[in-house]
């Protein structure tokens, strides 16, 4: 699966980090980092992260 985050939209709400900490994290400088090609086993968590992002910055696509 492929993940993209539009960092121009991201307002550091952290909802994706709460929903899918396996994929999303904040680094030491409080910047959002993420695994752009996580395992398909994390699909449900990734979809949840996309659904709870208040600014809809996250896109989840099947495939690699």
Residues that bind another protein (CB under 8 A): 11-15, 17-18, 21, 25-28, 30, 32, 51-52, 54, 56
Is the Cβ–Cβ distance between 46 and 22 less than 8 Å?
no
Q: State CA 15 to chain mean position distance.
A: 9
Binding mask 15-34 for ligand SF4 (x = CB under 6 A): xx---------------x--
Q: Helix, strand or coil for residue 43?
A: helix
Residue 14 found at the interface with ligand SF4 (CB under 6 A):
yes
Residue 10 found at the interface with ligand SF4 (CB under 6 A):
yes
Phi and psi at 49, nearest 5°, equal: -60, -45
| H or E segment to which residue 26 belongs | strand 24-26
Which residues make up the interface to ligand SF4 (CB under 6 A)?
5, 10-16, 32, 53, 55, 57-58
């Amino acid at each position: 699966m492929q993940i993209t985050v539009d960092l121009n939209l991201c307002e550091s709400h952290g909802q994706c980090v709460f929903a899918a900490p396996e994929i999303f994290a904040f680094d030491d400088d409080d910047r959002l980092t993420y695994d752009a090609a996580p395992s398909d086993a994390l699909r449900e968590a990734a979809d949840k992260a996309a659904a709870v992002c208040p600014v809809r910055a996250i896109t989840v696509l099947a495939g690699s």
